[in-house]
Amino acid sequence: MRLSKSWIIASKDFKVFLKKKNIIYSAFVVPLLASLFLPVVIYYVELENGGSGIAASELTYLLPALTFFYLILAGLIPTTIASYSIIGEKVEKSFERLLATPTTDSEILLGKGISSFLPPLGAILVGAAIYMVLMDVVTHGTLGYYFFPNWNAAVVFFLAVPLATIMSVEWNVIVSARVSDVRVAQQVGMLLVLPFAGVYVGGELGVVPLGNTGVLLIISGILLATDLLLLYVARATFRREEILTKWK
Amino acid sequence: MIETVSLTKKFGDLTAVDGVTLRVKEGEVFGFLGPNGAGKTTMVRMLCCLISKTSGDARVAGYDVGNEADSLKIRKLIGFVPDNVGLYDGLSAYDNLDFYGKLYDCTEAQRKENIQRFLTMLGLWERRDAAVGTYSKGMKQKLGIACALIHDPQILFMDEPTANLDPESAKTVRDFILELKKEGRTIFLNTHNLDEAQRICDKIAILNTKLMAVGTPEELERSVSGRKTVVQVVEVNDAILAALRKLSSVNLAIDGNKLTFDVKDPEKENVAITDVIYRAGGHVQSVTVVGSTLEDAYLKLVRRDNK
């Protein structure tokens, strides 16, 4: 497999995305807004009761749960890009011409994967950096120390978030093969965030100890296994002949 | 340059292409004619290594269609114009061409040179930076052909390149194909347009899942339908018609005082026809020999096959 071919396809997709306002909004603006919104909410809650709205003990389980919220974003944001990346080719009927070039199915799939993976991941990591800095500023007074960075955040942002992003991309490749409308693909693609949302709510309720590094590593392990399974299915779905004769 | 032997493609129980054997020589423009669903697109897709063959053999430029390693080599050697233009509307013409140039491993210098060359040839150079979405259908089709040529392929597969174009745009595209023919490229052209096939193609194959006929346009006209003799008489009467119907070798059609005969050998048969008319008391005003058109040949073959 030649990475250069995949990169050419991904670069072309980046150029196409930059012309689409809805993609820019969902890929870049949403994580940045979320990263500003969460610290602002904590800040105003903190202001209650004369500046002691949330107890330090509450913050120590609330902040890991909020950090886990980025996994929901990782499942959500690639949906727009990945579905457009594949279905956009279908809508513009450009797949046949692309498939007729001297590239392998894997190179095209990887190119589509890169273009759907890098922008959301980049935006989430930039958003995460902003989130951690602002959250430290907001909570330092209550905690007496800077909560971020820490090992749990490192596991979430550098292991679980990339794995969840990959999972979302793969899931959307599979979904995109079955539908021919970007909106339908996005709606079906978003179903992926339900398990993440469940774990997040569990974290907020204190049922799932999201402040525990071991738990985060187990979640990452499950994500990795799911990624490998979905990769197998996506590879089987993304075949030249299947695309031309069976994709809707 | 392109050779197939008993090439077959089945989709489940449906046979899309059935045992097609043909040969396209280097520098030839080979037209593929057939009704909708005849298997033309399937045939091109197989030859471009986009879909697999079910059975039979095919070689393009000496490489084996169906062999995984050869597939990439074939796709690198050929240019492909699909029936859908398939361009990126949000990108400029220049960016579309540059993208395909990169995928075909053209150097930056080659890309620059070929982009300028083809866009200038097609009259699109001035609009090179405009988004393709703002182009007319004809401009998009021309750009689509340029995309297939960006790596200067010697073999070009075109799937109905003038379909859905207005007459002026279709003519521009046809003229461009003729330019490519002059450059010695081998062109495999799927088309519905019989007139286009007749004007552009050196050889034509008629496909209706199976290969019905193959030859030069003239050969097809002659071999399939023979020729026609039109005899204009002063007056058609029963005696003339009765006498002519006794001539078992002729197939007669009557239109006023015009009698049209299907003939295989006009030089011999015309003498017999005029002699019979004269003996029956008729007066011949004119005798004209007309060749059958490609359309006649095509319709006859396809209708015969559909029965």
Please tell me which residue of chain A has the smallest CA distance to B147: A97
- Which residues of chain B does CATH 3.30.70.2470 include? 227-291
pLDDT at residue number A224:
96
A110 contacts on B by Cβ (under 8 Å) = none
B80 C-beta neighbours (distance < 10 Å), count? 27
What's the rounded mean pLDDT across residues B148-154? 92
pLDDT for the residue numbered A49: 62
Reply yes or no: is the peptide bond before residue A149 cis, omega within 30 of 0.
Answer: yes
Which site among B41, B103, B159 would you substitute to test the A interface, given the most A Cβ atoms closer than 10 Å to its Cβ?
B103
Give me the percent of chain B exceeding a pLDDT of 90.
42
pLDDT of B5 reads: 93
Our CA angle for B232, B237, B241, nearest 5°, is 80
pLDDT of B225 above 60: no
Looking at residue B161, its pLDDT comes to 86
Output the CA torsion sign for A73, A74, A79, A80. positive
> What would the pLDDT profile of A3-33 be if each residue is shown by its tens digit?
899 999 999 999 998 888 888 888 888 888 9
The answer to whether the Cβ–Cβ distance between B86 and A5 falls below 8 Å is no
pLDDT value, residue B226: 63
Under the banding of pLDDT at 50, 70 and 90, the label for residue A240 is confident
Chain B contact set for A98 (CB, 8 A): 86, 103
Whole-angstrom distance, CA of residue B5 vs CA of residue A232: 36
Q: Of A5, A93, A244, which is closest to B51 when you measure between CB atoms?
A: A244
CB contact under 8 A, B86 and A97: yes
Average pLDDT for A206-220: 88
> What pLDDT, in 10s, does the model give residues A74-127?
988 888 888 888 888 888 888 899 999 999 989 999 999 999 999 999 999 999
Q: What is the dihedral of CA A13, A17, A19, A20, to 10 degrees?
A: 140
Please tell me the predicted confidence (pLDDT) of residue A209.
Answer: 85
Q: What is the pLDDT of residue A124?
A: 93
Q: Is the pLDDT of residue A215 over 80?
A: yes
The DSSP-derived string for chain A is --HHHHHHHHHHHHHHHHT-HHHHIIIIIHHHHHHHHHHHHHHHHHHHHHH-SS-HHHHHHHHHHHHHHHHHHHHHHHHHHHHHHHHHHHHTT-HHHHHTSS--HHHHHHHHHHHHHHHHHHHHHHHHHHHHHHHHHHHHHHHSS---S-HHHHHIIIIIHHHHHHHHHHHHHHHHHH-S-HHHHHHHHGGGHHHHHHHHHHHHTTSS-TT-HHHHHHHHHHHHHHHHHHHHHHHHH--HHHHHHT--
Write down the mean pLDDT value for chain B.
87
Residue B250 pLDDT:
64
pLDDT at A171 over 70: yes
pLDDT at A51: 63
| pLDDT number for residue B66 | 84
Confidence at residue B116, expressed as pLDDT on a 0 to 100 scale: 94
* Per-residue pLDDT tens digits for B7-23: 999 998 899 999 999 99
Residue B290 has pLDDT above 80, yes or no: no
CATH fold, domain B227-291, is Alpha-Beta Plaits (3.30.70)
The CATH code of domain B2-216 reads: 3.40.50.300
Kindly state the tokens that stand for B295: 């359309």
B52 to A245: CB separation less than 8 angstroms, yes or no: no
Per cent of chain A over pLDDT 70 is 97
CA–CA separation, A221 vs A204, rounded Å?
22
DSSP letter for B166, please: -
- The reply to whether residue A15 touches residue B147, judged by beta carbons under 8 angstroms, is no
Question: Do B100 and A20 lie within an 8 Å CB cutoff?
Answer: no
What is the model's pLDDT at position B240? 86
The whole-number average pLDDT for the span B113-134 is: 91
pLDDT tens string A181-203: 778 887 887 888 888 888 888 88
pLDDT for position B292: 67
Chain B, 250 to 269: residues with Cβ < 8 Å from chain A are none
The verdict on a CB contact (< 8 Å) between B84 and A12 is no
- Spatial CB neighbours of B134, under 8 Å, sequence gap ≥ 6: none
Gap between the Cα atoms of B284 and B263, Å rounded: 18
Beta bridge partners of B63: B60
Residues in chain B: 307
pLDDT digits (tens, 9 = 90+) for B62-102: 999 988 889 989 999 999 999 888 899 999 999 999 999 99
Nearest residue in B to A90, CA atom: B86
Higher per-residue pLDDT: B233 or B289: B233
What pLDDT does A3 receive? 87
Q: Tell me which of A158-167, A236-245, B230-239, B281-290 is least confident.
A: A236-245
Domain with CATH 3.40.50.300 in chain B: 2-216
Q: Which pLDDT band, with edges at 50, 70 and 90, does A52 fall under? A: low
pTM for this predicted structure: 0.81
